[in-house]
């Protein structure tokens, strides 16, 4: 007959021979029973006792370590060897010395994984931003608790939290730590359990305290007004997305993007990266950049190296000549972990059950738990004060007849009868009688007893106050708010991760830049712009302009050079010639107000090729002043396309000139007068909106008209108009020097 089929496909057969060589009975177990009996207890143990943080912001391993250090006196005492701490912690945490030391490293200041570290470390503890920088063994390093831990253990001995037995029932440990601030939102935390995970980003301590205070005062407050966004210990720039932040605040899930910070060192033509995203490492960045270089996708990079030292992180990128650093970094942000995402999953244990909570829900749970801790502390103090008051009231009875008390004790034959006789003689209970009986002989005097009795009134006042706190929820909230304000004031620090909004981020086309080639560019007075190759220029005829329009400026440069356009609205637009198509002389060209997205009615009045941003700009105003602004004042690390406040708006502008080397300039007024001065008399300013210095002294009804190089004018006797000191009125223009000048606004 065929073998009978098992009733359930998930059943197992266990056939284990014993040592006698006999076969045990076959044991059959349903797969669902196996999961329930064997697997689920393990899964719940990992979830509840290892991987998921609780409302105080700690996992059990963190809590056991910190409490052990607290009991060792390391909050106020000197550092001790890490190996000593690890050994002591094993009384609470049986998972091995390596796991305990790894936990200590992550909580340390030296490792840098937390905004508010809890372990004050000495020695090599590695770095959070490095994958390969290993920390030293525990026998070489030392540690103690930071001052911040005082806020974790405040009043822990005042029955603020529950205690439980350790794993072998030889000592007690706290179930939670009575943190005076929402550490669950301040300390970054991650854990992988069975079937679920937890990932907390850190928020700035001061912002969290302010947000909690605002929530306590108004549970419906707008959290984003005080909680600006995650703050990471490795710094970087947080790319603000209001929708993503709102989703995290409301649901506890979502992600944010963080990018590295860098600076361009112009003198050495290199980029220094000094802050990286929290979720990556320098080795991962170097490896990826090396791959790009080998694949020929980062030809602008000559070399990249890690120059991290005691002063902090620094990755250096040597650039090839002519490389645009901002455009290169924009591409590296897309292709490497120099810009990375951080996923949030606010999974927290509430009363032993894992729950994914938004920020508002976390604050609700924390404030409820903290309120209970404060009430327990107040009740603990109240109980102690009542006990003391009870003893003092018994002492007050003795005050009525001290001699009688002495006589009762002296005449009692057996020691065991002393307490009952005092109770009978003075009408006090056993606790009061024992207190009286323990008073030293030297203290049986009226002065001592009166001092103790006088405490009764103060104690009663304090007891009344404590009872009022317990009955008034507003006073409890005020205690929590005061503690939050104290923490924020004492330990609050500025944000490390700066906020960057979408309109501040410069975007570049992903297409590789074309090879550079010579071009000629032409700007008309009406704002038409065209880029023409030399070959096309030779083959074309006369330049075409719109009726009534004419040439304002022309340059010889390269096809992808940077160019800046100054407008009549005190703004400057920056772009590259590569964004303009090659044109012909017979075409009008691109209309700049449309091409650059200018404001309505805004017009271009001057163009300049900044090159390496050397030299300066001269702005001539109708009031006779001239402002000399260094060209470097228009250089920006973010390569923004539009800069406001390009020059002063205090007086109408009449002329702009670029100056690379100091030389003489002739300035005309409408009187007409003229003076020739040397630009060395003008001091360069780095502030773009400077009003300048007075160059020409004008009569009330006249204004400064234009400026030009002396060789561009028809002045024959230049010495007549030359001045050595500014300001000056200049000389009246002679007939032979006053030929009709074609010196437009920007010639």
Any idea what the Cα angle at residue 511 is, between residues 507 and 516, rounded to 5°? 100
Q: What are phi and psi of 32, to 5 degrees?
A: -65, -35
Interatomic CA distance for residues 336 and 331, integer angstroms:
8
Which of 39, 42, 111, 140 is an active site residue?
Answer: 140
Q: Nearest Cα to 585, choosing from 649, 511, 515, 533?
A: 533
Annotated active-site residue 140? The verdict is yes
Local structure of residue 581 (DSSP, 8 states): -
Question: Whose structure tokens read 């063994």?
Answer: 137
CB proximity list for 612: less than 8 A, separation 6 or greater: 266
Coil, strand or helix: which one is 683? coil
Interatomic CA distance for residues 343 and 192, integer angstroms:
14
The answer to whether 621 and 649 are in contact (CB under 8 A) is no
Report how far Cα 527 is from the mean position of its chain's Cα atoms: 43
Any long-range contacts for 538-546 (C-beta under 8 Å, 24+ apart)?
Answer: 540/584, 540/585, 540/586, 541/585, 541/586, 542/585, 543/585, 544/585, 544/586, 544/587, 544/588, 545/588, 546/588
Interatomic CA distance for residues 504 and 600, integer angstroms:
22
Burial of 745: CB neighbours in 10 Å, binned 0-12, 13-18, 19+:
middle
Interatomic CA distance for residues 707 and 604, integer angstroms:
19
Interatomic CA distance for residues 313 and 130, integer angstroms:
10
Q: Which helix (H) or strand (E) holds 606?
A: strand 604-608
Coil, strand or helix: which one is 348? strand
CB proximity list for 671: less than 8 A, separation 6 or greater: 698, 699, 702, 732
N-to-C CA span, the chain: 110
Instruction: Give me the active site residues, please.
Output: 140
């Amino acid at each position: 007959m065929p073998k009978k089929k098992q009733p359930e496909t998930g059943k197992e057969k266990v056939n284990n021979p014993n040592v006698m060589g006999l076969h045990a009975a076959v044991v059959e177990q349903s797969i669902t029973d196996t999961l329930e009996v064997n697997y689920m207890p393990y899964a719940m143990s990992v979830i509840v006792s290892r991987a998921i943080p609780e409302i105080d912001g700690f996992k059990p391993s963190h809590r056991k370590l910190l409490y052990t250090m607290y009991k060792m006196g390391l909050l106020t005492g000197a550092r001790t060897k890490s190996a000593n701490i690890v050994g002591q912690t094993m009384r609470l945490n049986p998972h091995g010395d390596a796991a305990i030391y790894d936990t200590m490293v992550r909580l340390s200041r030296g490792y840098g994984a937390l905004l508010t570290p809890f372990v004050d470390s000495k020695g090599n503890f590695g770095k959070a931003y490095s994958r390969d920088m290993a920390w030293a063994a525990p026998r070489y390093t030392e540690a103690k608790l930071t001052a911040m831990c005082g806020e974790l253990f405040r009043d822990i001995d005042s029955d603020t939290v529950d205690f439980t037995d350790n794993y072998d029932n030889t000592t007690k440990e706290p179930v939670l730590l009575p943190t005076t601030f929402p550490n669950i939102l301040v300390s970054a935390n991650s854990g992988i359990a069975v079937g679920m995970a937890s990932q907390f980003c850190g928020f700035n301590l001061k912002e969290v305290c302010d947000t909690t205070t605002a929530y306590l005062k108004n549970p419906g407050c707008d959290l984003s007004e005080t909680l600006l966004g995650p703050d990471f210990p490795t710094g970087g720039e947080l790319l603000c997305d209001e929708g993503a932040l709102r989703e995290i605040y409301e649901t506890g899930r979502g992600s944010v993007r963080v990018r590295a910070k860098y600076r361009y060192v112009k003198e050495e033509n290199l980029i220094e990266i000094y802050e990286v995203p929290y979720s990556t490492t320098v080795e991962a960045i170097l490896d990826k950049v090396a791959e790009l270089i080998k694949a020929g996708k980062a030809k602008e990079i000559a070399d990249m190296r890690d120059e991290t030292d005691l002063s902090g992180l620094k990755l250096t990128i040597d650039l090839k000549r002519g490389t645009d650093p901002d455009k290169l970094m924009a591409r590296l942000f897309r292709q490497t972990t120099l810009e990375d995402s951080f996923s949030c999953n606010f999974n927290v244990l509430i009363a032993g059950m894992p729950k994914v909570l938004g920020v508002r829900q976390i604050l609700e749970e924390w404030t409820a738990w903290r309120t209970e801790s404060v009430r327990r502390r107040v009740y603990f103090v109240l109980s102690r004060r009542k006990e003391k008051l009870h003893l003092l009231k018994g002492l007050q009875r003795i005050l009525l007849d001290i001699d009688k008390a002495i006589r009762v004790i002296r005449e009692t034959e057996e020691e065991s009868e002393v307490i009952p006789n005092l109770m009978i003689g003075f009408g006090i209970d056993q606790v009061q009688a024992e207190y009286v009986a323990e008073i030293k002989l030297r203290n049986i005097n009226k002065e001592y007893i009166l001092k103790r009795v006088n405490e009764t009134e103060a104690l009663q006042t304090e007891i009344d106050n404590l009872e009022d706190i317990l009955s008034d929820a507003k006073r409890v909230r005020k205690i929590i708010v005061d503690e939050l304000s104290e923490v924020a004031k004492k330990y609050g620090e500025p944000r490390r991760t700066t906020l960057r909004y979408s309109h501040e981020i410069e975007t570049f086309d992903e297409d590789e830049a074309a090879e550079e080639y010579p071009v000629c560019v032409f700007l008309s007075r009406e704002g038409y712009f065209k880029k023409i190759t030399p070959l096309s220029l030779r083959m074309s005829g006369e330049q075409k302009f719109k009726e009534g329009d004419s040439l304002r400026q022309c340059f010889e440069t390269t096809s992808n050079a940077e160019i800046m356009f100054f407008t009549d609205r005190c703004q400057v637009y920056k772009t590259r010639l590569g964004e303009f198509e090659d044109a012909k002389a017979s075409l009008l060209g691109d209309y700049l107000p449309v091409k650059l997205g200018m404001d309505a009615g805004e017009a271009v009045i001057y163009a300049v090729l900044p090159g390496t941003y050397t030299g300066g700009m001269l702005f001539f105003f109708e009031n006779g002043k001239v402002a000399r602004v260094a060209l470097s004042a228009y250089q920006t690390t973010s390569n923004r396309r539009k800069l406001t406040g390009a020059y002063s708006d205090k007086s109408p502008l009449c002329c702009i000139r670029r100056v690379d080397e100091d030389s003489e300039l002739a300035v005309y007024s409408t009187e007409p007068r003229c003076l020739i001065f040397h630009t060395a008399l003008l001091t360069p300013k780095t502030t773009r909106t400077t009003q300048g210095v007075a160059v020409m002294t004008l009569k009330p009804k006249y204004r400064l008209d234009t400026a030009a190089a002396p060789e561009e004018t028809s002045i024959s006797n230049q010495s007549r108009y030359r001045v050595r000191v500014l300001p000056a009125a200049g000389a009246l223009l002679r007939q032979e020097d006053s030929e009709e000048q074609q010196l437009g606004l920007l010639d």
